[in-house]
Chain A
Amino acid sequence: MNQLALAIPWLGKRNPAAARWVVIALALAAPLIAVLFGKTWVRILDFAMLYVMLAIGLNLVVGFAGLLDLGYIAFYAVGAYTFAFLASPHFDIHLPFWLVLPAGAGFAALAGIILGLPTLRLRGDYLAIVTLGFGEIVRIFLNNLNHPINITNGPQGINMVDPLVLFGWDISQGLQIGESFKINSLFLYYYVFLAFVVLSIILVQRLQISRIGRAWAAIRDDELAAKAIGINTRNMKLLAFSLGATFGGVSGGLFAAFQGFVSPESFSLMESIAVLTMIVFGGMGNLAGVIVGALALTALPEILRYVAVPVQQALFDRVILDPEVLRMLLLSLAMIFMMLLRPSGLIPAYSRYSRPELVVGKESSGEAAK
């Protein structure tokens, strides 16, 4: 719960209890607010939740362990395609999601290790190039594995992926309450995704404040010194890659079920970069920053899409700049201003890797030094 309260930077420090409730209320009420602007916005919110999960997973690799990964979307693809293979008419397999989702996570983790093994000695730009290549390889495989044997159905992708079925209840059908009232499935998906996001936050927070989180931060800050205090850097890096990939895999599986359709074009390099941008924008290494970054950068382009056209029409009677062009332009501008004004992101990292308050009598000294 505290980790959620941290997401409010101002109130969070002054009155953590109130901040916590604000966060909870916002998270629960978000789709109800969004629906006032139209159902599309609830859908956007659903996607935002998936991006938050992706950002949390990538942050574990890039922000904590300092391993720059430009091919992260590949794990999202692995999760999504695993779900599509095991729960769609494509192979005519329809396994329940509680089997398929862990399978997707498992395969993604395996892919993480496969990517991690040959790149253990690489850092910085070199690592970025290799991971970028990995991401593209996965996408190209998905694009071309329809021949000679049709596995992925190539560029057409896989259709009619099974929706999430919780205890025999297909949530894509919505929830019928009484005769007249029906809760749309978009809302239900939102709350399912929210549950996954909350679980991810809790798990990542636990990892962060542990010997493993500290080992990752140590490798990020100084790999040689990390070795010199006995950290097995190989194992810790592989662990970061595989655990980070797991989040991508789960998110991908949820994406497949939500969308009902997967195709290679959802997993392009631009997507990897988009997720990385969210982390940088929000504040690398800081969980709250990463979440805010993901939400902001999912919502902004959509707001633009709905605002840019009417505004331009009102002002100039015609559309001068296509929203898509404007999107890239404004995103780039936003990034440039971020780098100039807040180089460490919207919410600069004050990441903790310890809890001094665990030792009796240290609570006060911990706060005083801040």
Chain B
Amino acid sequence: MITLLEARGIGKRFGGLTALSDVSLTIRKGEIYGLIGPNGAGKTTFFNVLTGAYTAEQGEIVFNGTELPAGKPHLVVEAGIARTFQNIRLFREMTALENVMAGHHIRSRANPFAILLQTKHAKEEERLITERAFELLRYVGIERFADTVSKNLSYGDQRRLEIARALATEPQLLALDEPAAGMNATETGKLRELVQTIRHDGVTVLLIEHDVKLVMGLCDRLAVLDFGKKIAEDVPAMVQKNDAVISAYLGGGTHKAGAAA
């Protein structure tokens, strides 16, 4: 299998707190890769470093053979990594369709002059973006809400819309930050199907999740973080048996209580 993303020795500190220390992991093309760990283990921090929201003090991330620029989110997206947020962050005043169309920004080229003059190319691009956005809404199953202002969508549909918006950037790696948070069993089930479809259509998925059951059933491989360190990386069945993982989740061992999920 081809390596899509390789993180090497990532370290990140916030003042005196070490959020990540020497985290290395490898994501292969076409897999669903899970990143789990107890609260405060550094999952979201890793996510933010990966997507350029934070700059890591140590280490580097190689994506598709080239090093990712640090601290430049829009270049990371351009390189082919898209993300969603743990607490949904949609463009509230825009319709579902417009949210997805905004996601096409990086893959469209019309400059201000072309837009002001409405050149043939600009018009054609606008039409294509609209068409693509409708397709993506259909893909995640919320096409009927295309004209609804996104803040009025239901919680589950907002999650789907956020995924559609991320897909609009035409990513090779889709990074989902706790997509199942706050969802009921039915919604989680649908989400699982969606993630599998996305992977089936050739997009590698990185999944941060609290819902261990979802992760175990969905992911091809897993990494477990605890106190900013990677304590395991393997297929789900092996991770479940890992002593360090069990003690991290259930307490005891070398760690103090409070780390339990």
Q: Which residues of B contact A368 (CB under 8 A)?
A: 147
Q: How large is the interface on B (under 10, 10 to 19, 20 to 34, 35 or more residues)?
A: 35 or more
Once the chains are docked, how many angstroms separate the CA of A206 from the CA of B117? 9
* B175 to A, closest residue via Cβ: A228
Q: Restricting to A204-246, which residues have a CB under 8 Å from any CB of B?
A: 206-207, 209-212, 214-215, 217-218, 220-222, 224-233, 239, 243
CB nearest to B130 among chain A residues: A358
* Binding-face segment, A186-194, A317-325, A347-355: A347-355
A176 within 8 A of B: no
| B77 lies within 8 A of A359 (CB) | no
Interface of B is mostly: helix
Is B94 interfacial (CB 8 A cutoff)?
yes
User: Known: A214-B94, A221-B93, A365-B146. Is A229-B105 also a contact (CB below 8 A)?
Assistant: yes
Residues A356 and B104 in contact in the complex (CB < 8 Å), given A207-B112, A228-B73 = no
Interface pair A214/B89, CB less than 8 Å apart: no
Nearest Cβ distance between residue A213 and chain B, in whole angstroms? 8
Q: Is the CB of A229 within 8 A of B103?
A: yes
Interface residue? B110 (CB, 8 A): yes
- Cβ of B112 and Cβ of A243 under 8 Å apart? yes
Q: Which residue of A lies closest to B129 (CB)?
A: A211
A359 vs B108: C-alpha distance in the bound complex, in angstroms? 17
Q: Cβ of A29 < 8 Å from any Cβ of B?
A: no
What mask results when residues 330 to 366 of chain A are scored 1 for a CB within 8 Å of chain B, else 0? 0000000000000000000101111110110010011
Whether, in the assembled complex, A25 has its beta carbon less than 8 Å from a beta carbon of chain B, the answer is no
Is B222 interfacial (CB 8 A cutoff)?
no
B101 near A214: Cβ-Cβ < 8 Å: yes
Instruction: Tell me if A36 is interfacial: C-beta within 8 Å of chain B.
Output: no
CB distance from A279 to the nearest CB of B (A): 16
Q: Are A210 and B110 in contact (CB under 8 A)?
A: yes
Does B218 sit within 8 A of A, measured CB to CB? no
| Most B-side CB within 10 Å, residue of A217, A229, A233, A356 | A229
Q: Chain B, 74-118, contact with A by CB distance < 8 Å: what is the 0/1 string? A: 100110001101000111111101100111111010101001101
Please name all residues of chain A whose beta carbon is closer than 8 Å to the beta carbon of B134 when the two chains form the complex: 356, 359, 362
A220 to B146, CA, bound (A): 21
Task: Assess whether B216 is interfacial by the CB under 8 Å rule.
Answer: no
Q: Is the CB of B148 within 8 A of A225?
A: no
| CA gap between A225 and B94 in the complex, in Å | 13
Question: Which one, B53, B94, B129, B147, contacts A365 given CB within 8 A?
Answer: B147
A220, A227, A352, A366 pick with most chain B CB within 10 angstroms: A227
Point out the residues of chain B lying under 8 angstroms from A225, CB to CB.
Answer: 85, 89-91
Q: Which residue of B lies closest to A354 (CB)?
A: B98
B127 within 8 A of A: yes
Alpha-carbon gap, A211 to B104, bound state (A): 8
- Given the interface pairs A210-B122, A214-B102, the reply to whether A229 lies near B82 with Cβ below 8 Å is yes
Is the pair B130, A224 in contact by a Cβ cutoff of 8 Å? Answer: no
Of A212, A228, A351, the contact of B93 (CB 8 Å cutoff): A351
Whether B103 pairs with A355 at a CB distance below 8 angstroms is no
Bound together, the chains give a CA A214 to CA B90 distance in angstroms of 13
- In the complex formed, the residue of B with least CB distance to A239 is B112
Find out whether the CB atom of A229 lies under 8 angstroms from the CB atom of B102.
yes
Question: B168 contacts the other chain (Cβ, under 8 Å)?
Answer: yes
B147 to chain A, nearest CB (A): 4
A229: nearest chain-B partner, CB-CB: B103
Chain B CB within 8 A of A370 CB: yes
Q: Are B146 and A215 in contact (CB under 8 A)?
A: no
Contact of B147 with A370 in the complex, beta carbons under 8 Å? yes
- Docked-complex contact B97 and A354, CB < 8 angstroms: yes
User: Are A231 and B112 in contact, with the CB atoms below 8 A?
Assistant: no
User: Does A369 touch B at the CB level, under 8 Å?
Assistant: yes
Contact A206 B148, beta carbon cutoff 8 Å: no
Interface residue? B165 (CB, 8 A): yes
* B146 x A356 contact (CB < 8 A): yes
CB distance A369 to B105 under 8 Å? no
Measured CB to CB, the closest approach of chain B to A119, in angstroms, equals: 19
A203 on the interface (CB 8 Å rule)? yes
**Contact residues of B between 138 and 174, Cβ < 8 Å to A:** 144-148, 165-166, 168-169
Q: Are B115 and A207 in contact (CB under 8 A)?
A: yes
Task: Enumerate chain A residues within 8 angstroms of B82, measured Cβ to Cβ.
Answer: 228-229
| Further contacts, 8 of them, CB under 8 A, given A212-B110, A353-B101, A365-B146 | A210-B122, A220-B93, A228-B51, A230-B74, A230-B105, A352-B98, A356-B134, A356-B146
A-B pairs with beta carbons under 8 Å apart, 6 shown: A207-B115, A211-B126, A215-B102, A228-B51, A231-B102, A368-B147
CB within 8 Å of A: which residues of B?
51, 53, 73-74, 77-78, 82-83, 85, 89-95, 97-98, 101-106, 108, 110, 112, 115-116, 118, 122, 125-127, 129-131, 133-134, 144-148, 165-166, 168-169
The 7 A-B residue pairs whose C-beta atoms are closest, nearest first, are A230-B77, A230-B106, A369-B147, A225-B89, A221-B91, A227-B73, A214-B102
